[in-house]
Amino acid sequence: MSASAGPAVRPRQPASSAALHATLVFFGECWLLAAGAIAAVVRGRVRWRDTLAQMSAIGVGSLPIVLAITFSTGAVFAYYTTAVFVRFGAVNYAGGTLAYGFLNELGPVLAGVAVASRSGAAIAAEIGTMVVTEQVDALRAMAVSPLRYLVAPRLLALVIMMPLVGVFADAAGVYGAYLMSGAHGVPHQAFVESVRTLVDETHLIRGLIKTVWFGFTIAIVACREGLATRGGAAGVGRATTSSVVLCVVLIFVSDFFLAQILSGGSVGQR
């Protein structure tokens, strides 16, 4: 009498295939979240009271951190570069160079990282807590779409507020550079004239376009990580951590491509 065959054992998936599968699932879920949230916004099915509350929490709440980070970075950046300008007699280019770097790159990226670390983590933790306490299931039971109720207001709030936060980040960074440059040999008038000569509104607009994309990325990734939370309080912690890490990585990676696209392949273009 032959022995009965045991259950078939599935071969383990190679680590590279598992990573590729997880990556595709992640981007697929983000795309579905983005499509559903955008559709809700376009159809006007977003509660403006929730959106305004999120705008206050995301924009106003993040502003002190953003200002502190960008002001300090502008001052430190000027501290190191001003010495080079003074050494080679190029003080007339100091202000424009520092402002150019901040408007195009440092301001938007630092604002995005700060908002991702604060508001992105808060969004993932809040939604993750709602998932593990079955509040999201209760919304579905009442025929309320989590996309419309949770994701769309946060997406809209981040897309609206990030450019405003970016403007304050640029102003704080350039002002920090202005003060530090003046303290290390660059006349204030020369700094201002250099900014007027080398920088125009195009550079500000490029940076603000970046902040819109960064806000979109933070909203979708944070909401996705929150909705994918499993495993109680420990799962909420993991979702919060992965949200911040993913947002920061995607901000830097997408910034590389946005810089090429917005500058037309030439950093010398104005």
Letter string b/e over residues 218-252, b meaning 16 or more CB atoms within 10 A of that residue's CB: bbbbbbbbbbbbeeeeebbebbbebbbebbbebbe
Q: Does residue 31 surpass a pLDDT of 90?
A: yes
CA-closest candidate to residue 218, choices 113, 69, 70: 113
pTM: 0.88
pLDDT at 15: 64
pLDDT digits (tens, 9 = 90+) for 84-132: 888 888 888 888 999 999 999 999 999 999 999 999 999 999 999 999 9
Q: Does residue 2 surpass a pLDDT of 60?
A: no
Work out the pLDDT band at 7, boundaries 50, 70, 90: low
Q: Does residue 261 surpass a pLDDT of 80?
A: yes
Work out the pLDDT band at 9, boundaries 50, 70, 90: low
In this prediction, residues 192-205 reach a mean pLDDT of 91
pLDDT digits (tens, 9 = 90+) for 226-246: 999 988 889 899 999 999 999
Work out the pLDDT band at 17, boundaries 50, 70, 90: confident
